[in-house]
Amino acid sequence: MKNSLSDPLGKLSSWTFTNTSAGALCNYTGVSCWNDRENRLSGLEFRDMKLVGHIPEALQFCHSLQSVDLAGNQLTGSIPAQICSWCPYLVTIDLSDNQLTGPISADLVNCSYMNNLILSDNKLSGNIPYQFSAMQRLKKFAVANNDLSGTVPSSFDSINSTDFVGNNGLCGWPLGKCGGGFSRKDMRIIIAAGVSGAVASMLLV
């Protein structure tokens, strides 16, 4: 994982691998373990480290992870569709404030323990997969400020609208109505304007 990322600030310099004793990895920057006596990782937090590269495929060797926080870096490329196969116990993924592109894979629904999926402030495109409606544990889903389009799945009707703003092609609750239709208020305004125009024309005649 260290070799796959460019680390201009030297944040991962403590990852020296000279100490091979049990639990040594737990003292590395950004690493947390289930306990400090074994190298079984529970979380990786690399927030705001200015790391450059793709989301590391080496995550496949971190099977026990519950949280991955790579927010505030300069990561590019797409979100690996296999991430839930690599780390099936993930509860939180935060990839916000990067430069990620491509679609949001429907395979993320395979993270059956997911509570928080935060993908805001990237360049993601395509639709929000309708399969996400099956993610019963999902409490926080944020995709604001991307290039997403299509309809927001109805299962997200309780999520704050601010988590979806900044996607010009996205519509549906809690955003604006899809299909270019008019709300009841809009219809009342249009009808009133039409009636007023007709009356004015009759008076002019």
pLDDT, tens digit, 9 for 90 and up, residues 40-50 = 899 999 999 99
Domain ranges of the chain: 24-174, 177-205
Rounded CA separation 117/96 (Å): 9
pLDDT of residue 6: 96
Whether 188 has a pLDDT exceeding 50, the answer reads no
Both tokens assigned to 103: 């679609």
| 95-104, 144-153, 173-182, 183-192: the lowest-pLDDT one | 183-192
* Sign of the torsion angle spanned by Cα atoms 45, 73, 150, 85: negative
The yes-or-no verdict on residue 178 having pLDDT over 60 is yes
pLDDT tens profile 63-115: 999 999 999 999 999 999 999 999 999 999 999 999 999 999 999 999 999 99
**Helix (H) / strand (E) containing 23:** none
Query: Is residue 140 within 8 Å of residue 116, measured between CB atoms?
Result: yes
Determine the pLDDT at residue 24: 86
**Superfamily of structural domain 24-174:** Ribonuclease Inhibitor (3.80.10.10)
Query: pLDDT tens digits for 11-48?
Result: 999 898 888 888 888 889 999 999 888 888 999 999 99
Task: Identify the pLDDT of residue 35.
Answer: 87
Q: Is residue 186 over pLDDT 60? A: no
Question: Cα(201)–Cα(184) distance, rounded to whole angstroms?
Answer: 26
